[in-house]
Amino acid sequence: MIFIKIVICGPLQCGKSSYIKYIDNKALNVEARGIKNECITVGLDLGSIKLNGFDIFLFGTPGLLRFSVMRDVVVEGADGIIFMFDASNKSSDADAITILNQIRKIIAPNTPIIYLANKQDIQGARSAEQIKIDNNLHDFEIIPTSVKTGLNIMESLKNIVNKVYNRYKELLEMMKDYENDIRGLAEKLHYNKQQIRDFLNNLEIKRFIEIDRIKKTYRVKGGLKNLI
């Protein structure tokens, strides 16, 4: 099994916890009661699912702006980001964009992000296209979703996992040429000794490669296919 970390981000009460619970009804949540007796994530959500050779771990982040430190911790090391807008609450867009800009500073370059326009089940909810216009996101695809009806929930998860795998697939294809030449790989990637060690250890943890520390070589695993 390949391990993939997907982090769900967005403003308060946009549906992050419900998204994870829709996929994994045994998901864990660290939450507290708000002023209006609503449940608010103050730590994180954690769920998981197995799909086509992938062990996918879903992490939900707090939506309150003041929990930025916790959000930064959860986002660190994400393979992909699912960013959620509340289609029924335009006033939450300002917080959404603030959070989006924060996580963009943390994630690794080229980390895939997909965008959701959630709560499409609510009458008067904005369309995905309208959210693009409202937030000047013209160059991005936004998927309409509903955690209550299940609209595009599994489809959006498969979408981000495919993007993550495609990103790694290009990297792993290149790495096959350096399985017996870690020093050459480090030079190719412009990594120092510590960076290449961390890089290879991370790929081994995710089970994309197997490392032979005696021979100082690695082997790229094969046989995976994109989700349909």
d(CA 218, CA 172) in angstroms, rounded, equals 11
Domain boundaries, the chain: 2-165, 168-220
Which residue in the block uniquely carries the two structure tokens 């595009």? 152
Q: Write down the pLDDT at residue 29.
A: 82
Q: Write down the pLDDT at residue 179.
A: 97
Q: Write down the pLDDT at residue 226.
A: 59
Q: Write down the pLDDT at residue 228.
A: 43
Q: Write down the pLDDT at residue 109.
A: 86
Measure Cα distances from 85 to 88, 119, 162, 178, 206 in Å. Answer: 9, 9, 21, 42, 29
Q: Tens of pLDDT along 15-54? A: 999 999 999 999 998 655 555 555 555 568 999 999 878 8
Q: Write down the pLDDT at residue 223.
A: 65
C-alpha 110 chain-centroid distance? 12
Q: Write down the pLDDT at residue 52.
A: 78
Which tokens is 11 given?
């403003």
Q: Tens of pLDDT along 71-83? A: 999 999 999 999 9
Q: Write down the pLDDT at residue 36.
A: 55
Question: pLDDT 10s digit of each residue in the chain, 228 long?
Answer: 789 999 999 999 999 999 999 999 999 986 555 555 555 555 689 999 998 788 999 999 999 898 899 999 999 999 999 999 999 999 999 999 999 999 999 998 889 999 999 999 999 999 999 999 999 999 999 999 999 999 999 999 999 999 998 999 889 999 999 999 999 999 999 999 999 999 999 999 999 999 999 999 999 987 665 554
CATH number of 2-165: 3.40.50.300
What's the full length of the chain, in residues?
Answer: 228
User: Measuring CA to CA, which residue among 185, 170, 173 is closest to residue 216?
Assistant: 185
